[in-house]
Amino acid sequence: PRLCQRPVSEGAPATQPRLKLEDIYIAVKTTGRFHRTRLATLLETWISRTKTHTFIFTDAEDEDLSSEGYNLVVTSCRSDHSQQALSCKMSAEYDGFMASNKRWFCHVDDDNYVNPEALLALLSTFSLEGDVYVGKPSLDKPISAHELLEGNATRKVQFWFATGGAGFCLNQRLAEKMSPWASGSHFERTSEKIRLPDDCTVGFIVEKRLGISMVHCPLFHSHLENLQLISQRSIPHQVTLSYGMLDDKMNSIKVKGSFSEEEDPSRFRTVHCLLYPLTSWCP
């Protein structure tokens, strides 16, 4: 597979305009019942540094958040975790990005910590001329699906996809090429053809409809992997982190610092104080 390059401190080749954080459209997928819990942790930590270009896709109005100046996008999607509800939100994220005219689209979930500097460093390694779909697969081999064809026939397709729970990014050039299968109601229709969730659908469009290979990158992380394996000294280089239950145990980053595990079960506040020690609420 195509692998991401280690970001170098010198930044992008001088031939292309320097990428800025504002060039990245960050879409966060959440739901009403997590506004005061999962989402609140993100607002307090990394979103406080990326607020203007972070867009929160949810299914419930929230006067408090809107009045505090967050970009809240209330979709008319169902609030369950069904394939249809997920694809509906991803479709709204894609359309929101396409209307923004930004250079990169990045999708994350409400249990992800995004390190904006590491994200910028990674995306700066790619040439503007290429088509880039970068993230981390949750499986060690391509997924197999049965694509529905005309007249009830199906065909087996195999492709890689970046797991939505670790976050992934697409550049504008590739996103534009995806439009026939991803814009408006097309995304949900494409998703129904392979009967797989939103993140799989993105991989299907990129790899099977467009013939472009995903870039595999180990710097993205979901709660489906053992997060204890990430060393504290490598944290500043990771693009996304996560937390959640895995095999009935709390799976989170092992990090020594400001807050106990009781005070900070996600470890996101501790990570944030490690990266930004001057934050007002850091001890």
Query: Are 133 and 168 a contacting pair, CB within 8 Å?
Result: yes
For residue 149, CA distances in Å to 143, 155, 186, 196 come to 18, 7, 15, 15
The pLDDT of residue 81 is: 72
- Classify residue 12: in a domain, yes or no: no
pLDDT value at 103 more than 80: yes
Query: Are 225 and 244 a contacting pair, CB within 8 Å?
Result: no
pLDDT value at 208 more than 90: yes
The pLDDT of residue 84 is: 74
Question: Can you state the angle between helices 83-100 and 186-194, rounded to 10 degrees?
Answer: 140
- What residue type is assigned to position 45 of the chain? T
- Classify residue 88: in a domain, yes or no: yes
Structure tokens at 246: 């895995």
- Classify residue 257: in a domain, yes or no: yes
Q: What's the chain's average pLDDT?
A: 94
For 21-25, 37-41, 181-185, 270-274, which range has the lowest pLDDT when averaged over its residues? 181-185
- What residue type is assigned to position 182 of the chain? A
- CB count within 10 Å of CB 44 equals 14
The model scores a pTM over 0.85: yes
Q: Which domain holds residue 222?
A: 22-275
The mean pLDDT of 148-169, rounded to a whole number, is 96
Q: ∠ at Cα 247 (242, 253), nearest 5°? A: 30
At residue 82 the predicted structure's pLDDT band, cuts being 50, 70 and 90, is confident
The mean pLDDT of 83-103, rounded to a whole number, is 90
pLDDT value at 12 more than 70: no
- Residues labelled as active-site residues: 199
The mean pLDDT of 106-123, rounded to a whole number, is 98
* CATH code: domain of residue 154: 3.90.550.50
Number of domains in the chain: 1
Q: Which residue would you say has higher pLDDT here, 75 or 17?
A: 75
- Classify residue 7: in a domain, yes or no: no
The pLDDT of residue 1 is: 83
Q: What DSSP assignment string belongs to 212-240?
A: -PPEE-TT---TTS-GGGS-GGGGGG-SE
The pLDDT of residue 128 is: 82
- Classify residue 58: in a domain, yes or no: yes
